[in-house]
Amino acid sequence: MWEAQGVKILLVEDDDAIALPLVKGLGREGYDVARVATGAEALEAAPTDMILLDLGLPDMDGFEVCRKLRAGSNVPIIVVTARGEEIDRVIGLELGADDYVVKPFGLRELVARIRAIHRRATPTTIATTDEGVQRIDDLEIDRRTHRVRIGENVIDLTPKEFDLLALLAEDPGALRTRADILDQVWDPHWYGPTKTLDVHVASLRRKLTDPTWIETVRGVGFRLRAGS
């Protein structure tokens, strides 16, 4: 429970039958949970450490809420929804969600997902060099502050995108298999769609403005360009 102490979670869920037991259960685990019932309330809520977001909200589509939250913040977002189709998962992840949990689910599963996301979103869990900054040509990765630059431009990455880039940058030019990346960046027990990785790679390529930074080795994995 020590890991949960001080971690603030915003639960965006309009169904009392789901929200109330979830608030109580997460509270028992040591999390500080605030609950809102609409997308508008979620967008106006105070800063938090993590957001659990239902998609079926009464005032606006949860995907739109996810998009707006991500546009203004890098706070980790876990979509918690009854929509279990792969296309919904892909859309949610492409809009910036860090994980996608389908109802019904067990509290233990959700807590495990929360812990995994929180560990990876916390800068102190990232291995650093003495300076904490890695430079490859004009790409600069600061593991201490979780900042990425291309030249003078700061690149706004989600926690998952940063972890993906940082992993590939550990050994530029070296191939990382899909299974290895999912283990390291997601979870050793990841059971979600492997399409998740492709969605994040595509998003990372767009943000780096040059798709050649990340090379695909078809059927095997990915590697980061070693530089010129």
pLDDT at 219: 82
Q: Hey, is 145 helix, strand or coil? A: coil
* Cα–Cα dist 227/137, whole Å: 6
Q: How far is CA 94 from CA 90, 190, 196, in A?
A: 6, 18, 8
Q: Determine whether 2 is exposed, middle or buried from the number of CB atoms within 10 Å of its CB (0-12, 13-18, 19+).
A: exposed
* Cα–Cα dist 15/57, whole Å: 9
* Cα–Cα dist 171/193, whole Å: 26
Question: Which amino acid, 221?
Answer: G
Comparing 94-108, 113-127, 128-142, 175-189, which segment has the lowest mean pLDDT?
113-127
pLDDT at 61: 93
pLDDT digits (tens, 9 = 90+) for 49-60: 999 999 999 999
Strand order in the sheet with 176-177: 176-177, 221-224, 214-217
pTM of the full predicted structure?
0.60
Helix runs in the chain, H state only: 16-28, 39-44, 62-72, 86-94, 107-121, 159-169, 178-181, 195-208
pLDDT at 223: 92
Structure tokens given for 160: 């998952």
Contact 146, 123 (CB under 8 A): yes
pLDDT digits (tens, 9 = 90+) for 12-22: 999 999 999 99
Question: Which amino acid, 180?
Answer: D
Strands 133-136 and 139-142: antiparallel
Average pLDDT over residues 151-176: 90
Q: Annotate 50-106 with DSSP letters as a single string.
A: EEEE-SB-SSSBHHHHHHHHHHH----EEEEES---HHHHHHHHHTT-SEEEESS--
pLDDT digits (tens, 9 = 90+) for 116-137: 787 766 543 333 344 678 888 8
* Cα–Cα dist 198/160, whole Å: 12
Structural domains present in the chain:
2-121 (3.40.50.2300), 127-224 (1.10.10.10)
